[in-house]
Amino acid sequence: MGSSSDKLFNRERTLHEILGGGIVADVMLWRKKNVSVGIVTVTIASWMVFEAFAYTIFTLISSVLLLLLSILFLWSKSASILNRPSPPLPEFQISEAMAEEASIWLRIHVNKLLQVSYDIAMGRDAELYTKVAISLFLISLIGSLMDFQTLCHTSVLVVMAVPAFYERYEDYIDGSLVIICNKVRELYLRFEILAFSEKEKLS
């Protein structure tokens, strides 16, 4: 294992710690193989069902909810007729505290998004603009290549494959990425120096 200077972003924590160190990290890194295999199998099977029967996500959700509500409705009616207990369902209700917490979380993140957008629009952070522009371009490119359902299934498979692959070949990947990042940073500094010199000439 290399030193922290050889790691991407000079990090000292392990990948398992970065992913939260809990059950989710164990599943993503295939330390709970049964669960990981189950997630991958269900993802592939559901994708095949969507493709074979031309289902959409809304059609599937509507069908499942209709089936579930019909079963519960018939269960309740038959229970009242046969003097049997009703379905053991809790009362679904969103508390005021939960609503306030969700609104606070939403307000904080929306304000962050607006602040980032304002900084980019005012030309205050060229590096942030570059990152956002590249991210939006990649999202647009991916969206033109596949529909939303395929994107969701592919994302699950990527999440289940990339972290485990990275953990296995961490030293090699980090070394290559550090070299690439240094090259990109060097090119960016050269561009800034060139832009500054051109600005000085014009002034």
Percent of the chain scoring above 70 in pLDDT: 91
Q: Looking at the predicted structure, is the pLDDT value of residue 104 above 90?
A: yes
Smallest CA-to-CA distance from 185 within 125, 116, 127 is with 127
Give residue-wise pLDDT tens across range 153-168: 888 899 899 888 888 8
Mention every residue, 6+ apart, whose C-beta is less than 8 A from residue 32: 23, 26
Give residue 9's region: left, alpha or beta (phi > 0; psi -120 to 50). Answer: left
User: What's the rounded mean pLDDT across residues 9-17?
Assistant: 71
Give residue-wise pLDDT tens across range 18-57: 787 788 888 888 888 899 999 999 988 888 878 777 777 7
* pLDDT for residue 78: 86
Q: Looking at the predicted structure, is the pLDDT value of residue 82 above 90?
A: no
3-state secondary structure the chain: CCCHHHCHHHCCCCHHHHCCCCHHHHHHCCCCHHHHHHHHHHHHHHHHHHHHHCCCHHHHHHHHHHHHHHHHHHHHHHHHHCCCCCCCCCCCCCCHHHHHHHHHHHHHHHHHHHHHHHHHHCCCCHHHHHHHHHHHHHHHHHHHHCCHHHHHHHHHHHHHHHHHHHHHCHHHHHHHHHHHHHHHHHHHHHHHHHHHHHHHHHC
If pLDDT is split at 50, 70 and 90, which confidence band does 203 have? low
Work out the widest C-alpha separation in the chain, in whole angstroms.
Answer: 92
Kindly report the pTM of this predicted structure. Answer: 0.54
Distance CA 70, CA 73 (A): 5
Q: Looking at the predicted structure, is the pLDDT value of residue 5 above 70?
A: no
Q: Looking at the predicted structure, is the pLDDT value of residue 1 above 50?
A: no
* pLDDT for residue 40: 92
Average of per-residue pLDDT values in the chain: 82
